[in-house]
Amino acid sequence: MWAAAVTAVTVAIGAVLSVSAADIDPALREAAHRAAATLSRIPLTDSRPGADGTYERAQFGAAWTDAVSVTGGGNGCDTRNDILARDLSDITTGITSKCARAVMSGEFRSPYTGEFIVFSRERAASAVQIDHIVPLAFAWSMGASSWPASRRYAFANDPANLVAVDARSNQDKSDAEPARWMPPLKRFRCQYSVQFVAVTGAYGLTLDKPSAQALAEVLEDC
Sorting pLDDT into bands at 50, 70 and 90, what band is 222?
very high
Contact 82, 73 (CB under 8 A): no
Model pTM score: 0.91
Mean pLDDT of 84-90: 98
- Structural domain includes residue 199: yes
Q: Give the number of other Cβ atoms within 10 Å of residue 1's Cβ.
A: 7
Sorting pLDDT into bands at 50, 70 and 90, what band is 14?
very low
- Structural domain includes residue 213: yes
Taking only the tens place, the pLDDT of each residue in 151-163 is: 999 999 999 999 9
Q: Is the pLDDT of residue 1 over 70?
A: no
- Structural domain includes residue 10: no
Q: Is the pLDDT of residue 23 over 90?
A: no
- End-to-end CA, the chain: 30
Question: pLDDT at position 24, please?
Answer: 64
Taking only the tens place, the pLDDT of each residue in 163-220 is: 999 999 999 999 999 999 999 999 999 999 999 999 999 999 999 999 999 999 999 9
Taking CB atoms within 8 Å and a gap of at least 24, the contacts of 14-22 are: 14/159, 14/160, 16/191, 16/194, 16/195, 17/86, 17/87, 17/111, 17/163, 17/191, 19/109, 19/111, 19/114, 19/185, 19/187, 19/188, 19/191, 20/109, 22/187
Number of domains in the chain: 1
Question: pLDDT at position 50, please?
Answer: 86
Sorting pLDDT into bands at 50, 70 and 90, what band is 25?
confident
> How high is the mean pLDDT of the chain?
91
Using alpha carbons, select from 33, 37, 57 the residue that is nearest to residue 139. 57
- Structural domain includes residue 14: no
Residues in contact with 52: Cβ distance below 8 Å, sequence separation at least 6, in sequence order: 141
- Structural domain includes residue 13: no
- Structural domain includes residue 204: yes
Question: pLDDT at position 123, please?
Answer: 87
Q: Is the pLDDT of residue 49 over 60?
A: yes
Q: Is the pLDDT of residue 6 over 60?
A: no
Q: Tell me the residue range of the domain where 92 lies.
A: 26-221
- Structural domain includes residue 100: yes
Sheet (strand 116-120) strand order = 89-94, 102-109, 116-120
- Structural domain includes residue 63: yes
Mean pLDDT of 63-80: 96
Higher pLDDT, residue 25 or 201: 201
Q: How does DSSP classify residue 99?
A: B
Question: pLDDT at position 8, please?
Answer: 42
